[in-house]
Chain A
Amino acid sequence: MLSLRVNLGQLWSPISAAGAAAVIFALMAGPAAAQADFEGIWNPDHPPRMGQPDPSTVRLTPAGQAEFDSFTPDKDPTLRCLMPGIPLGLVDPYPIEIVQQEHQILILYEHFHQVRRIFMDGREAPDHWLPSFIGYSTGEWDGETLVIRTTHMRPDNYMWTAGFPFSGDENTYVIERWWREGDVLQFTGEVHDPTYYEEPYVVGGRWDYAPDGEIWEYECIPEFGGIE
């Protein structure tokens, strides 16, 4: 499944020259080549307040404060049956399934059937890429920690539905770090939005491995968004 995993079934047969070279390469690759197995279904087990920061600690710029003060519930995309995307959906309350491929890692969300593609092959966002709720994500391994950088996010989204805004301008980006501790997948997300925030907006959450978990359909009816 993963490119640098050693295939023991092949290596412990009479060792060929190619097999020996593969062993030497894998050993020489060392920690830099390390990566972790995140595959499977994971159930949310996020901390209180959905892993959002204490509102009193969030330092808004004057422009950000003006947006915060003008927030109304009808601006929440999820209440209009639009996907939360990034950054609002960084900490998501429904199960996810992670699929690891050679060139990308897929995060399949139950919530609004979101699909995140995290490109792992070194590519960068093409010039024509339009802003979207899910954004454009690239990743790399730092040891066994997956580091994701996301750009190209839509401006009409939010950090959190308490009204914390997100500008989505060309200076915004998100850095996530995901790491596994046994059957727990931890992550943090730093949302960089200097237009609206004096310092990065930091969230964090955790997922519990759920080998018998299920991903369900999430139909959504805007009339039941609760915007009343």
Chain B
Amino acid sequence: MKLLTTPGLSALLVLLACLPAAAHHNGATYFDTSTSIEHSDATVVEYAIVNPHGRLHYTFTDAEGNEQEWSAELASANNLRRRGLGGEIFKPGDQLVSVTGNPSRSGANFMRLQSAEFADGTVANFSGPNRGIIPGPGRDAQQ
């Protein structure tokens, strides 16, 4: 996984913190914002920067040993690009300790991404007032 430099991380932290609080869609219509689900040991398949919403595709192995494929919705491509987040966060093959989000009300393998944690402890947080890239303890050691 390509690691960001410290200035790059700082910039991302600031830029993510500036993401608008108001999205175009009322998220609670499509996702159950009262609860979160978490998937462990996920592998990134694709990080798509598109409109009307970006998408993180990933797989993980459930408790029964079955591989599941899921998608997590992000802000729009224009929002992500305008804030310098055009595809540098996730790459295919990245290993994620966990992926957390609000589940779709439809019951599909689909969520609204809240956060994802990398193996080095770095957290990409897309929800709430502390949105941003929070470097983990292992990230500095690898730089």
Contacts and interface: CB of A to CB of B under 8 A. Distances in A.
Contacts of B81: 216
Contacts of B20: 44, 93
Interface string B119-130: 000000000000
A219 interface: yes
A228 B78 contact: no
Interface stretch (B3-11, B23-31, B36-44, B91-99): B23-31
Interface string B16-56: 00001111111011100000000000000000101111110
A76 B50 contact: no
Given A216-B78, A218-B78, A226 B52 contact: yes
A224 B51 contact: yes
A228 B70 CA distance: 11
Interface residues of B, number: 29
A48 B129 CA distance: 14
A157 to B, nearest CB: 14
Contact of A78 (B21, B52, B55, B79): B52
B73 interface: yes
B18 to A, nearest CB: 11
Interface in A164-222: 216, 218-221
B71 interface: yes
Nearest to B28: A162
B50 to A, nearest CB: 5
B110 A228 contact: yes
Contacts of B106: 73, 228
B51 A93 contact: no
Interface residues of A, number: 32
B52 A73 contact: no
B78 A94 contact: yes
B104 interface: yes
A1 to B, nearest CB: 29
B51 A226 contact: no
A110 interface: yes
Contacts of A111: 24
A81 interface: yes
B63 interface: no
Determine which residue in B51, B54, B106 has the highest number of CB atoms from chain A within 10 A of its CB, and name it: B51
A155 interface: no
16 contacts: A46-B22, A48-B22, A79-B25, A81-B51, A81-B52, A92-B24, A161-B25, A162-B28, A163-B29, A219-B50, A220-B52, A224-B51, A224-B53, A225-B52, A226-B53, A228-B104
Interface of A: 44, 46-50, 52, 71, 73, 76, 78-79, 81, 84, 92-94, 110-111, 160-163, 216, 218-221, 224-226, 228
Interface of B: 20-26, 28-30, 48, 50-55, 71, 73, 77-79, 81-82, 104, 106, 108-110
Given A50-B26, A78-B24, 13 more contacts: A48-B22, A52-B26, A93-B24, A93-B79, A94-B78, A162-B28, A218-B78, A219-B77, A220-B50, A221-B50, A221-B51, A224-B48, A224-B54
